[in-house]
Amino acid sequence: MGISLNKGGNLSLTKTDPTLKNIIIGLGWDARPTDGADFDLDASAFMVKEDGKVRSDSDFIFYNQTKSTCGSVEHTGDNRTGAGDGDDESLIVILDKVPADIQRVVFTVTIHDAESRKQNFGQVSNAFIRVVNKDSGNEVARFDLSEDASIETAMVFGEIYKHGGEWKFKAVGQGYSGGLAALARQYGINI
């Protein structure tokens, strides 16, 4: 298991695993044991510039747009219940392919239909994000956020960013209300 980060913590991916070229961002949570609507968590990625905004809508990778035009970020598919062990949703990032004007890739998780289902992250158990070296299969970093999220319906889980020629990972754990739409607007998507 990789280095476990707390909210706000960061580490140099390049230093921690010099062989790192392609990464998997894995997102997991426990399926709901109680009765009621499933917790359907959706992972998304925003590729943003220095100013924190996307270049265009195609820099927003989510279940309806699963691959960036440059091919550097790919969403591997939607899981609607959280059933099964390990990652429930994942995104693949090919670091070398990330365009030069993209400074950060932000990974977010939102609860689908949270408002009408009256759900929030506090009700979801054992949610985590992890960074895995796709080629070796080794986990590089991990962030368990069950205690950092509660009444929010959208979360910035973490981000990878360029820093002095290195790639770093930061465990953000910042929650927002308003779901995916609100998050998307924040990063400059026209919704």
> Quick check: 36 binds another protein (CB under 8 A)?
yes
Give Cα 178 distance to the centre of its chain.
17
**174 touches another protein (CB under 8 A):** no
Give the residue with the Cβ less far from another protein, 36 or 77: 36
Q: Does 123 bind another protein (CB under 8 A)?
A: yes
Binding of another protein by 4 (CB under 8 A) = no
* Of residues 7 and 134, the one with the C-beta less far from another protein: 7
Which of 12-20, 42-50, 57-65, 112-120 is the region at the interface with another protein (rule: CB under 8 A)? 112-120
Helix (H, G, I), strand (E, B) or coil at 158: strand
Told to check if 110 binds another protein by CB under 8 A, we report: no
Q: Could you give the angle at the alpha carbon of 157 between the alpha carbons of 156 and 160, nearest 5°?
A: 95
Q: Which residues contact 102 (CB under 8 A, 6 or more apart)?
A: 47, 48, 49, 55, 59, 72
**CB of 21: closest distance to another protein in angstroms?**
35
- Structure tokens given for 54: 């996307």
CB of 145 to another protein, least distance (A): 11
Cα angle 104, 22, 60; round to 5: 40
Nearer to another protein, 132 or 149 (CB): 149
Does residue 116 belong to the site contacting another protein (CB under 8 A)? no
Q: Does 120 bind another protein (CB under 8 A)?
A: yes
Residue position matching structure tokens 């890739």 = 105
CA atoms within 13 A on the CB side of 72: 18
Binding site for another protein (CB under 8 A): 32-36, 118-123, 146-147, 149-151
